[in-house]
Amino acid sequence: MNSNIIKDSNNAKVENNIFELDFSSMTPREANQKIKEVSTQYNKILIKNPNAMHYLVAGLTEEAHIEVEGSAGYFAGTMLDKAQLIIHGNAGWFVGDNMTGGEIIVDGSAGDGAGQGIYDGILVVKNNAGSRTGEIMKGGTVVIGGDSGFMTGIFMMGGRIIVLGDLGEDAGESIIRGAIYVKGSVQSLGQNAKIVDISEENLEELKSTLNKYNFDLSDEDYKSFKKIVPKSKRPFYGNDEEEDCYCD
Q: Is residue 29 part of a domain?
A: yes
Q: Is the pLDDT of residue 209 over 80?
A: yes
Q: What is the pLDDT of residue 43?
A: 84
Q: Is the pLDDT of residue 229 over 90?
A: yes
Q: Is residue 242 part of a domain?
A: no
pLDDT range class, residue 116, cuts 50, 70, 90: very high
Q: Is residue 244 part of a domain?
A: no
Q: How far apart are CA 181 and CA 162, in angstroms?
A: 5
Q: Is the pLDDT of residue 78 over 80?
A: yes
Q: Which residue has the higher pLDDT, 124 or 239?
A: 124
Percent of the chain with pLDDT over 70: 88
Mean pLDDT, rounded, for 11-40: 83
Condensed to tens digits (0 to 9), the pLDDT of residues 148-172 reads 999 999 999 999 999 999 999 999 9
Q: Is the pLDDT of residue 41 over 90?
A: no
Q: Based on the structure, what is the number of domains in the chain?
A: 1
Residue 100 Cα distances to 60, 81, 142, 177, angstroms: 10, 5, 13, 18
pLDDT range class, residue 44, cuts 50, 70, 90: very high
Long-range contacts of 131-134 (CB under 8 A, 24+ apart): 131/168, 133/161, 133/163, 134/159, 134/161, 134/180
Q: What is the pTM of this model?
A: 0.90
φ, ψ for residue 223, nearest 5 deg: -70, -15
Write the CATH number for 170.
2.160.20.60
Q: Is residue 106 part of a domain?
A: yes
Q: What is the pLDDT of residue 17?
A: 77
Condensed to tens digits (0 to 9), the pLDDT of residues 130-152 reads 999 999 999 999 999 999 999 99
Long-range contacts of 7-12 (CB under 8 A, 24+ apart): 7/41
pLDDT range class, residue 3, cuts 50, 70, 90: very low
Q: Is residue 3 part of a domain?
A: no
Q: Is residue 243 part of a domain?
A: no
Q: Is residue 246 part of a domain?
A: no
Q: How far apart are CA 108 and CA 246, in angstroms?
A: 34
Label residue 36 left, alpha or beta by phi (over 0 means left) and psi (-120 to 50 means alpha).
Answer: alpha
Listed in order, strand segments (DSSP E) in 62-164 are: 65-69, 84-87, 103-106, 122-125, 141-144, 157-163
**Segments forming the whole domain that contains residue 142:** 18-230
Percent of the chain with pLDDT over 90: 83
Q: Among 85-89, 143-147, 200-204, 230-234, whose mean pLDDT is lowest?
A: 230-234
- In this structure, are residues 121 and 100 in contact, taking their beta carbons and an 8 Å threshold? yes
Mean pLDDT, rounded, for 121-133: 98
Alpha helices in the chain (DSSP H): 28-39, 200-212, 219-223
Q: Is residue 65 part of a domain?
A: yes
Q: What is the pLDDT of residue 9?
A: 32
Q: What is the pLDDT of residue 87?
A: 98
